[in-house]
C-alpha cells in the first residue's frame, strides 16, 4: 500500500467537509491513528467523498461509518490488504476485496442492522439477522470466499443471534419452506441454497464493545474459510 502524502487536515476536509461534521469527527481520529487506513482513504478518496456527500440522514451516516470501520479494523492487521468496491460502483457486489497473506483473496460484504437495544444487553431478534443475510446473499460471487460482516449500534448480545439465525435458515431449507424463501427474494429453496453456499462465514462486529468479533463458519460453503484466515478474522483488533 502506498505511503500517505496528503496532510491529515486536507484529507479529512476533502472526504467529509467541515471538521465539525459528524463523519469528520468520528473517522478523522482513525486517519491519525492508522497510517494504513489513512493510505486507504487517500487511494479511495474520491469514492469515499462521493458516498459521504450522498448521505441523506443519520442512518446513512452510520452505515458509511460502519463500512469504513470494517476497513479500518481489517487494515489494523498487516496480513490484510483491502480494495474498495473493486467490482465497480453501483453493482450488486461486495464492498471490499481483501488479500490475506499476499496470496489468498476473498470478498467482504458489510451490513449494519438498523436497530438499537432497548436495554443494555438485550438480544437482537434472529429474524432481523435472517433478513440481513437474505438481503446480502445475492451480492456474493460464486467463485471465491465470501465473508459477511454484521453489526448494530449499541452494546447488545446480538452475536448470540448469529448462529441460531443460520441454523433456522438451514432448517427451513431442509424442510423445503418454499414460501419463506420466496418472501425473501429467492425463487425458492433451491435458489436460496445455491446462494447460501457462496457464503463462507459471517462475523458479528461490535464497535461499541471493542471486543473480539464473533465468527460463524458456514458448514455448507462451497469455499470454506481456511483455518488461518478464520483465526485472523476472529482476532481482529486483538
What's the grid cell of residue 185? 427474494
Percent of the chain with pLDDT over 70: 87
User: Does one domain contain both 142 and 227?
Assistant: yes
pLDDT-based confidence at residue 139 (cuts at 50, 70, 90): very high
User: Which residues are CB-neighbours of 7 under 8 A, at least 6 positions away?
Assistant: none
- What is the predicted pLDDT for the residue at 2? 66
User: Does one domain contain both 118 and 209?
Assistant: yes
Q: Is the pLDDT of residue 174 over 60?
A: yes
The domain total for the chain is 2
| Range with top average pLDDT, 121-125, 129-133, 198-202, 209-213 | 198-202
Distance CA 235, CA 217 (A): 15
The per-residue pLDDT of the chain, averaged, comes to 89
User: Does one domain contain both 131 and 217?
Assistant: yes
User: Which residues are CB-neighbours of 90 under 8 A, at least 6 positions away?
Assistant: none
pLDDT-based confidence at residue 126 (cuts at 50, 70, 90): confident
- What is the predicted pLDDT for the residue at 205? 85
Candidates 171, 88, 158; CA nearest to 129 is 158
User: Which residues are CB-neighbours of 119 under 8 A, at least 6 positions away?
Assistant: none
Angle between helices 159-174 and 126-137 (to 10 degrees): 70
187 secondary structure, DSSP code: S
Length of the chain, please?
238
What's the grid cell of residue 218? 458456514
- What is the predicted pLDDT for the residue at 8? 93
User: Does one domain contain both 119 and 199?
Assistant: yes
Does residue 36 belong to any structural domain of this protein? Answer: yes
**Pair 26, 32: CB distance under 8 Å:** no
What's the grid cell of residue 6? 496528503
**Pair 137, 198: CB distance under 8 Å:** yes
User: Does one domain contain both 206 and 101?
Assistant: yes
Does residue 220 belong to any structural domain of this protein? Answer: yes
pLDDT digits (tens, 9 = 90+) for 54-86: 998 999 999 999 999 999 999 999 999 999 998
In the block, residue with C-alpha cell 460463524 = 216
| Range with top average pLDDT, 204-208, 213-217, 227-231, 234-238 | 227-231
pLDDT digits (tens, 9 = 90+) for 178-215: 999 999 999 999 999 999 999 999 999 876 655 678 89
Q: What would you report as the CA-atom Rg of the chain, rounded to the nearest whole angstrom?
A: 18
Mean pLDDT of 103-121: 82
pLDDT-based confidence at residue 159 (cuts at 50, 70, 90): low
- Full domain range(s) for residue 95: 85-234
216 secondary structure, DSSP code: E
User: Does one domain contain both 43 and 160?
Assistant: no
User: Does one domain contain both 105 and 216?
Assistant: yes
pTM of whole model > 0.75? yes
User: Does one domain contain both 99 and 47?
Assistant: no
pLDDT-based confidence at residue 120 (cuts at 50, 70, 90): low
Amino acid at each position: 500500500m502506498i505511503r500517505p502524502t496528503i496532510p491529515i487536515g486536507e484529507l479529512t476536509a476533502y472526504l467529509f467537509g467541515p471538521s465539525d461534521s459528524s463523519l469528520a469527527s468520528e473517522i478523522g481520529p482513525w486517519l491519525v491513528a492508522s497510517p494504513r487506513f489513512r493510505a486507504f482513504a487517500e487511494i479511495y478518496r474520491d469514492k469515499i467523498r462521493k458516498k459521504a456527500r450522498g448521505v441523506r440522514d443519520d442512518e446513512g451516516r452510520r452505515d458509511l461509518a460502519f463500512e469504513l470501520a470494517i476497513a479500518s479494523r481489517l487494515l489494523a492487521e498487516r496480513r490484510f490488504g483491502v480494495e474498495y468496491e473493486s467490482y465497480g460502483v453501483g453493482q450488486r457486489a461486495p464492498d471490499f476485496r481483501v488479500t490475506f497473506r499476499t496470496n489468498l483473496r476473498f470478498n467482504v460484504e458489510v451490513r449494519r442492522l438498523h436497530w438499537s437495544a432497548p436495554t443494555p444487553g438485550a438480544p437482537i431478534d434472529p429474524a432481523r439477522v435472517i433478513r440481513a443475510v437474505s438481503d446480502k446473499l445475492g451480492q456474493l460471487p460464486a467463485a471465491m470466499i465470501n465473508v459477511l460482516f454484521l453489526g448494530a449500534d449499541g452494546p447488545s448480545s446480538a452475536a448470540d443471534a448469529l448462529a441460531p439465525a443460520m441454523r433456522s435458515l438451514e432448517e427451513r431449507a431442509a424442510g423445503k419452506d418454499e414460501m419463506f424463501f420466496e418472501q425473501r427474494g429467492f425463487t425458492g429453496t433451491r435458489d436460496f441454497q445455491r446462494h447460501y453456499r457462496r457464503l463462507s462465514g459471517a462475523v458479528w462486529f461490535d464497535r461499541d464493545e471493542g471486543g473480539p468479533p464473533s465468527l460463524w463458519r458456514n458448514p455448507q460453503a462451497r469455499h470454506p474459510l481456511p483455518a488461518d484466515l478464520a483465526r485472523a478474522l476472529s482476532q481482529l483488533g486483538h
